[in-house]
Amino acid sequence: MSSRRNFLKKAGAAGALGMAGLSGCIGDFGEQAYGNGEINFMMSPTEPQDYMRSQYKPYAEYLEEQVGTTVKLKYAADYSAVLQGLGSGTADIAETGPFAAALGVKADKANIALQRHAYGSWDYTSVIVTKKDSEINSLTDLEGEKVGFADMTSASGSLYPLYMLKKAGLTIGEAPVSDSGADFTGVWSGHAEAFAALENDQVAAAGVGQFITLGDDGEVADGYEYVKTYDGIPRAPMVVSPNLSEQEQTDLVDALQNAPESVYNGADGEGGTDDDLWFDSVREANLETYQPVIEVANELDLSTDLLNQG
């Protein structure tokens, strides 16, 4: 899995999420829906578009075989676009982040269907990381400093880092919508970009998912250290459109739960290569699974309005 982290670090330095403007990236989705004979599978823009298409190609092909319906992979402009598509019925199933999914359920735009498993667990860790040679020894040392974050609706790369900063006594102001009124200067981009900004000394610390900070040995990369960590975040879900019939939702869930190991190996069909999916299995889930994320969102006074920002 470390190859993914290395790939994303390089992509981040080049502006991985900036690829959202490429051909094939969408804010408004196609007109076909599952009920009309086509499944639109939406990918959230957490990694470069071509990379994600390569990752999900066998996944989509397997789903197509199992359900007997054409499956099209779509790359969304942002988390909000994913939920807009699901809510309107022009998207049928999507992979997205925990917080975006929770907001989607709250706004009646999505139903949580599956939870993903990776790195040996069903949950993961958010970190605030800095360089070992920095003068940042505690979260309070970040007062007046510049801090990098992932997408504003990312659980591990924005919400939980902000929650940790707030619990440490720092004022977060209007974050993550902006850093107005905050005790620090916030910069929101993506996991890869935020860690690359730290690497290039553009920020004093980065709030990201732990996965982006790991070296080949599974430990924090050389030269870096964690200021604070938060464990137990439920791994990112897959969600379906509430416009699908109960049978259509069940068909999708059953098919993906029973998917063979080969669908996780990416377009080259070989495990342990750069185009492997970052997760290795899924299990059925619901809103209760993501209650911890909802509680953090409530602590930060966040609502579905956040999806209309940016």
In a domain, 40, yes or no: yes
Q: Which of 217, 234, 251 is the last residue of a domain?
A: 234
Q: What CATH number corresponds to the domain at position 198?
A: 3.40.190.10
Whether residue 53 sits in one domain with residue 42: yes
Rounded average pLDDT over 219-241? 96
Whether residue 247 sits in one domain with residue 103: yes
Q: Is the pLDDT of residue 188 over 60?
A: yes
Whether residue 106 sits in one domain with residue 25: yes
Residue 166 identity (one-letter amino acid): K
In a domain, 304, yes or no: no
Whether residue 63 sits in one domain with residue 104: yes
Buried b (16+ CB within 10 A) or exposed e, 106-127: ebebbbbbbbbebbeebbbbbb
User: Is the whole model's pTM more than 0.85, yes or no?
Assistant: no
Note the pLDDT tens digit of each residue in 63-99: 999 998 999 999 998 888 899 999 998 899 999 988 8
In a domain, 297, yes or no: no
Least confident of 132-136, 187-191, 239-243: 187-191
Amino acid 153: pLDDT: 81
Q: How far apart are CA 206 and CA 162, in angstroms?
A: 11
Range of the domain at 72: 16-120+236-287
Nearest alpha-carbon partner for 296 in 160, 104, 152, 176: 160
In a domain, 93, yes or no: yes
In a domain, 301, yes or no: no
Buried b (16+ CB within 10 A) or exposed e, 31-50: eebbeeebbbbbbbbbbbbe
Q: How far apart are CA 19 and CA 25, in angstroms?
A: 8
Tokens of 140: 């309070």
Residue matched to tokens 């578009």: 49
Q: Which helix (H) or strand (E) holds 231?
A: strand 224-234
Mean pLDDT of the chain: 86
Whether residue 155 sits in one domain with residue 116: no
Whether residue 240 sits in one domain with residue 99: yes
Number of structural domains (the chain) is 2
